Amino acid sequence: MPSFRHLLFRRSFSTTARQREIRNVAELPGRIHPRYQELSDHDLLGLQWPQPPRNILLTKKDCAPTVTESFIEYAKHIHSTYPSISIVLEPHTAAELHERFPFPVYTRQQELAEPHILHDKVDLINTLGGDGTILRASSLFASSPTVPPILSFSMGTLGFLGEWKFGEHKRAFRETYMSGAQGSHGQSLATKETPDNLARAVTTLSTSTPSPTSSPTPASSYPPSSTTTTTTTKPPKSPPLGWSSIRGKFLGSSRTSRVLVRSRLKVGVYAPDGTRVSSDTHATQPTSSPHHAHDIFAMNEVILHRGRDPHLAIIEIYVGGRFLTEAVADGMIISTPTGSTAYSLSSGGSIVHPLVSSLLLTPICPRSLSFRPLVLPANTPITLRLSEKNRGREVEVSVDGIRRNKALRVGMELRVEGEDVRDAAGNWMGGVPSIVRGTSGSESEGGGEDSWVGGLNGLLKFNYPFGEEA
């Protein structure tokens, strides 16, 4: 039994439980759509935020411990430096890492649920990994006509698409967040912050920011975890009073992050009678969703392949509505300029700069030696029809590396054309906006800088001479 003196001098300590919450992404305010401004001194575009981004989707390469640790460091940096930002994770990442964050994270309700809720919530995408991680992030918006800007850090095997190094993550995110920054909804940061100005800023934000959803969500709909606490009682943090709340990071309204808009393919699947059929690409997704009645988009390529069938596929090819040829091959690839350095390149296709508006038609191991790859205008519709002559009765279809749930059967068609990256008014709205190195308006960086050329030389070893070390 402890003595009275021992009890008298015993110190008491209070503890505060860490926040280990996974919240429903539906609670977040609506998506902010940036503008893309043409630059007079460069072929790339300038990123212009109408107000600070609020909801950031973070994705990472799986099964890579080093990447995971950097991912946690990056998320904590964003939360501590930009406290008004909400972090959105994929369901499996949220289940794996939420206990390591002292702040709540957001995700969609189920791992197998379609990611359409992200289309209305995510302002900016950040990826840590390789080219496959970028494709994964883009595929989450495969049924959306617009994709948020993507800031990518190269931490994968090749990293041809992502040119930022993780050591630059603070600078890269700051430039992206503050790109074209102005005060609260159009006011320059040079405007003096008087009480009247702040009051007007609060009024503007309160009238323009959508209210978050407050309906409760059952805990069973989230990834299972013994320490997970799901709640919808606390609304997300209020947005800041413009960029002026992030002091010491103003770049100037004339300086914007450079954006390379990577065009996508628009893909549709049709039955022999011409009716549209399900365009789903995820074998785990339900097929009853009405979203499957629409086209899907591909950043890299769409592939028609014989799969496990030992026989060559016989595919009728139509270009611009006219019959081109009957291909006898392992399959066919239709790729974007971005995808020209992927499977198409391995199949003998041309390398095309991502700013060239085009489509690539590349055969996979054709029987005829005279069947050469083609480069076509981006607005050219291409139709691939599985011929009645096929000994195998179906072929596999994959979009950006994701195999379609249902095969393409004899008589069915795959219709592909380039995506419209501008609307009727000429505004940039389609494609995959990729944030590249450098800030427009900087005198220290040449306007003709092209990281794509550096990637060909440094990563793909383009025309590297024999007998020298790579």
Positive or negative CA dihedral for 430, 435, 437, 438?
positive
- 105 pLDDT higher than 90: yes
Residue 34 sits at the vertex; the CA angle it makes with 423 and 72, to the nearest 5 degrees, is 135
Q: Which residues in 26-141 belong to E strands, given as ranges?
A: 35-38, 45-48, 55-60, 86-89, 105-107, 124-129
- In this predicted structure, what is the pLDDT of residue 140? 94
- The average confidence (pLDDT) of the chain is 80
Q: Which of 94, 110, 86, 105 is nearest to 19 (CA)?
A: 105
* Maximal C-alpha separation, the chain: 98
Collapse the DSSP code of 78 into the 3-class scheme (helix H, G, I; strand E, B; otherwise coil) and give the result: helix
- In this predicted structure, what is the pLDDT of residue 297? 95
Q: What is the mean pLDDT of residues 125-150?
A: 94
Token pair listed for 394? 């179906």
- In this predicted structure, what is the pLDDT of residue 185? 46
pLDDT tens-place string over residues 68-94: 999 999 999 999 999 999 999 999 999
Quickly state the pLDDT bin for 18 (edges 50, 70, 90). Answer: low
- 229 pLDDT higher than 80: no
- 209 pLDDT higher than 90: no
Q: What is the mean pLDDT of residues 194-222?
A: 42
DSSP-derived secondary structure letter, 158? S
- Higher model confidence: residue 53 or residue 406? 53
pLDDT tens-place string over residues 245-260: 665 555 555 678 999 9
- 156 pLDDT higher than 50: yes
Backbone φ, ψ for residue 373 (5° rounding): -65, 150
Q: How far apart are CA 359 and CA 308, in angstroms?
A: 27
- In this predicted structure, what is the pLDDT of residue 225? 43
DSSP-derived secondary structure letter, 190? T
CA 418 to chain centre: 18
Q: How far apart are CA 454 and CA 470, in angstroms?
A: 14
Kind plus residue range of the DSSP H or E element containing 334: strand 331-335
Token pair listed for 263? 């065009």
Quickly state the pLDDT bin for 109 (edges 50, 70, 90). Answer: confident
Query: Could you tell me if 115 and 90 are in contact, meaning their C-beta atoms sit under 8 angstroms apart?
Result: no
- In this predicted structure, what is the pLDDT of residue 19? 56
Token pair listed for 79? 């939360």
Q: How far apart are CA 317 and CA 102, in angstroms?
A: 55
Quickly state the pLDDT bin for 216 (edges 50, 70, 90). Answer: very low
- In this predicted structure, what is the pLDDT of residue 248? 53
Does the reported pTM lie above 0.85? Answer: no
